[in-house]
Amino acid sequence: MCGIVGYAGFREAYDVLLEGLKALEYRGCDSAGIAMINKEQGCLEVAKVAGMASLLEQRTRGKLSRSNLGLGHSRWATHGRPSDKNAHPHVSCCHTIALIHNGIIENYRVLRAALEKEGHRFLSQTDTEVLVHLVEKYYRGDLLEAVREATDRVEGSYAIAVVCSNEPQRIICARKDSPLIIGLGQGENFVASDFAALLPYTRRTYILEDGEFVSLSPESVEVFDRGGNKIVKEIYEVEWDIAAAEKGGYPHFMLKEIMEQPQAVRDTLRRRIDLEAGRVLLPELDLTAEEARRISKIYIIACGTSSHAGYVGKYALERLASLPVEVDPASEFRYRDPLLDQNHLAIVISQSGETADTLEALRLCKEKGIRVLAITNAIGSSAAREADRTLLTFAGPEIAVASTKAYLTQLILLYLLALYLGQLRGTVTREQGAELVRGLNGLPDQLVKILTPECLTELKEIAVALAHWDSIFYIGRNLDYATALEGSLKLKEVSYIHAEAYPAGELKHGPLALITGGMPVVALATQEKVLEKTLSNIQEIRAREGAVFLVASEEFVGIERQADWVFHIPRVHQLLTPVPAILPLQLIAYYTGLARECPVDKPRNLAKSVTVE
């Protein structure tokens, strides 16, 4: 969602802020702005536009004064449409204080009315603007103190960075329920909402916790708790480098990330399987066999693509660990009354580890005394810190808004978890376990077979054929239905084609009414036990002149005659087919998006990390 970057040091702040904003745009951005302290006159200079950082740069490069300290913000509109006025930074009435904010101030209406009564003039429709007026109200010569008092008055979530021209050498930052990271340099320091903005300069960071405040200058970074006591923070060294967050020769991050999947799967499996013993090792879980046997039910809670991984996890956990599993979108879970008891386990899945609904669901489970396991790609994220246990996917940074390699590595962890629980609970035999471990280990090589130039060309041709349709169905049974859900979401996101996933057996209960001449249906057939049923459903579509694009396991011989076009995925264990099966669907979405000239890496209206409800 919104992105924060701040700089205090010896470089031109303008360059650092603009580069940072560009690096953060992948999170979703509809307006951008900067505020800098003018070096000579010590006053504030602010520039904002409705649009991306490149537009801000076009309008401002060479037109602002020199500065070594400032803030930059990329906004993703929640309160108030994208406009110059609603863009951050927001500035106090006396034009001395500028503030940028990620999150939502829930009591902003009440605060705004009160501040307006006291004479503060508001220029925007945003919730954020109350914060800068509150800081102005409480400012008595100490910006840190004013920020502390202001944040005492607000309800909601925030990561903020504030500057004041009366204190031209420091930036004050604070966080609650929205991520904020400090980058540590030599004679320079940084603040950002995301590592991507820091990596060109430093890998040494502090990850801020809720309730922490920071006073940052070129020479020092001081962290305080709400009571004003100094905190000694541990340095977190980021392992990946800037190259991992760049396109590396690919035209788009999405394609790069699709191509990285064999490696991402290898990295996620590393040290977690013992091929010789045919066993899974998850020491991070710190779980005894007795504790595993006591679990009586699992809730999987997540949003979007991560929840689709959850559906695959449900099949694997039910089959291998013999446990009942419910999968809920986090936005639904948190507002229903689940019947939780102490022997239940909640698994939250989140690539970013910062999705607002998922975090609230996590907190709800903890409040009710349920143990929470987080599956996330972001070490140090809120999900990782707040859950009782964390399993990390090692997908590396995922920049494209449409999730690909994070999804695949989530599947891998869910398989590992299901097998591990099965081992501990005695619900998988030694032979079954060993067969699956071999199957998991062989997946990267099977994925490579789908990512050849020949396969890519074939999928591109299909995408061109699909690109002029307005609506497409995705169907499958069992695990293939879970894959259909994810395939259709990918297509929606990156090509803007309406796509809907259905359990194949549900077609004749309604959607079949929509099948007319040439209407495309993407079908999946990887599950032997429902193969004949799926093939019947396909014939029902073709009998109504629908065009079927089938993704099927290569061992199903003769299946070519059953569809208008067939893409074969390499043979893998029946339970693991969602791993190779999603690759052609990701590539179809990517190439369809390209054929329709869509901005595949940054689809309109979407954000990479949805940190507001």
Give the active site residues: 2, 608
Dist CA 251 CA 258 (whole Å)? 12
Contact 174, 144 (CB under 8 A): no
Nearest to 549 by CA among 538, 557, 533: 538
Contact 98, 69 (CB under 8 A): no
Stretch touching ligand M6R by CB under 6 A, among 6-14, 194-202, 348-356, 555-563: 348-356
Residue 409 as a binder of ligand M6R (CB under 6 A): the answer is no
Give me the least distance between CB of 413 and ligand M6R, in Å please: 13
Q: Which is nearer to ligand M6R, 24 or 150 (CB)?
A: 24
**Contacting residue, 215, 382, 403, 527, with ligand M6R by CB under 6 A:** 403
Place of tokens 């967050």: 245
Collect all residues with Cβ–Cβ distance below 8 Å to 68 and sequence separation of at least 6.
7, 8, 9, 10, 11, 12, 13, 39, 218
> Which burial class, exposed, middle or buried, applies to 106 when counting CB atoms under 10 A from its CB (0-12, 13-18, 19+)?
middle
Residue 305 as a binder of ligand M6R (CB under 6 A): the answer is yes
Q: Which is nearer to ligand M6R, 238 or 402 (CB)?
A: 402
Dist CA 501 CA 499 (whole Å)? 7
Binding mask 529-548 for ligand M6R (x = CB under 6 A): --------------------
Dist CA 120 CA 115 (whole Å)? 6
Contact 6, 217 (CB under 8 A): no
Stretch touching ligand M6R by CB under 6 A, among 91-99, 197-205, 257-265, 350-358: 350-358
Collect all residues with Cβ–Cβ distance below 8 Å to 352 and sequence separation of at least 6.
376, 377, 378, 381, 608, 609
Give me the least distance between CB of 104 and ligand M6R, in Å please: 16
Angle, helices 13-24 vs 53-60, to 10°: value is 160
Binding mask 578-607 for ligand M6R (x = CB under 6 A): ----------------------------x-
Stretch touching ligand M6R by CB under 6 A, among 22-30, 78-86, 229-237, 395-403: 395-403
Give me the least distance between CB of 354 and ligand M6R, in Å please: 7
Phi, psi (rounded to 5 degrees) for 430: -55, -40
Give me the least distance between CB of 381 and ligand M6R, in Å please: 9
Q: DSSP letter for 1, please.
A: -
Give me the least distance between CB of 489 and ligand M6R, in Å please: 6
Contact 299, 344 (CB under 8 A): yes
For ligand M6R, which residue has the nearest CB? Answer: 304
Stretch touching ligand M6R by CB under 6 A, among 82-90, 396-404, 415-423, 501-509: 396-404
Query: Residue length, the chain?
Result: 613
Collect all residues with Cβ–Cβ distance below 8 Å to 110 and sequence separation of at least 6.
none
Give me the least distance between CB of 609 and ligand M6R, in Å please: 6
Three-state SS letters, 419-442: HHHHHHHCCCCHHHHHHHHHHHHH
Contact 360, 156 (CB under 8 A): no
Give me the least distance between CB of 361 and ligand M6R, in Å please: 11
Phi, psi (rounded to 5 degrees) for 419: -70, -40
Q: Which is nearer to ligand M6R, 57 or 357 (CB)?
A: 357
Residue 262: asked if its preceding bond is cis (omega within 30°), the reply is no
Give me the least distance between CB of 187 and ligand M6R, in Å please: 35
Place of tokens 């953060």: 24
**Contacting residue, 162, 303, 462, 519, with ligand M6R by CB under 6 A:** 303
Residue 6 as a binder of ligand M6R (CB under 6 A): the answer is no
Strand partners, 200: none
Residue 327 as a binder of ligand M6R (CB under 6 A): the answer is no
Residue 507 as a binder of ligand M6R (CB under 6 A): the answer is no
Residue 304 as a binder of ligand M6R (CB under 6 A): the answer is yes
Residue 446 as a binder of ligand M6R (CB under 6 A): the answer is no
Stretch touching ligand M6R by CB under 6 A, among 149-157, 238-246, 345-353, 445-453: 345-353
Stretch touching ligand M6R by CB under 6 A, among 127-135, 151-159, 346-354, 434-442: 346-354
Dist CA 82 CA 337 (whole Å)? 36
Give me the least distance between CB of 358 and ligand M6R, in Å please: 5
**Contacting residue, 352, 390, 488, 534, with ligand M6R by CB under 6 A:** 352
**Contacting residue, 493, 549, 593, 600, with ligand M6R by CB under 6 A:** 493
Dist CA 116 CA 374 (whole Å)? 43
Give me the least distance between CB of 488 and ligand M6R, in Å please: 11
Dist CA 343 CA 341 (whole Å)? 6
Q: Which is nearer to ligand M6R, 281 or 606 (CB)?
A: 606
Give me the least distance between CB of 482 and ligand M6R, in Å please: 14
Give the three-state DSSP class for 147: helix
Nearest to 415 by CA among 575, 585, 574: 575
Residues 274-293 that bind ligand M6R (CB under 6 A): none
**Contacting residue, 128, 178, 261, 350, with ligand M6R by CB under 6 A:** 350
DSSP sequence for 379-390? TTSHHHHHSSEE
Stretch touching ligand M6R by CB under 6 A, among 85-93, 311-319, 399-407, 550-558: 399-407
**Contacting residue, 67, 68, 151, 306, with ligand M6R by CB under 6 A:** 306
**Contacting residue, 16, 443, 610, 612, with ligand M6R by CB under 6 A:** 610
Angle 62-90-211 from CA coordinates, rounded to 5°: 120
Residue 159 as a binder of ligand M6R (CB under 6 A): the answer is no
Phi, psi (rounded to 5 degrees) for 108: -70, -30
Residue 351 as a binder of ligand M6R (CB under 6 A): the answer is yes
Q: Which residues would be at the binding site for ligand M6R (CB under 6 A)?
A: 303-306, 350-352, 355, 358, 401-403, 493, 606, 609-610
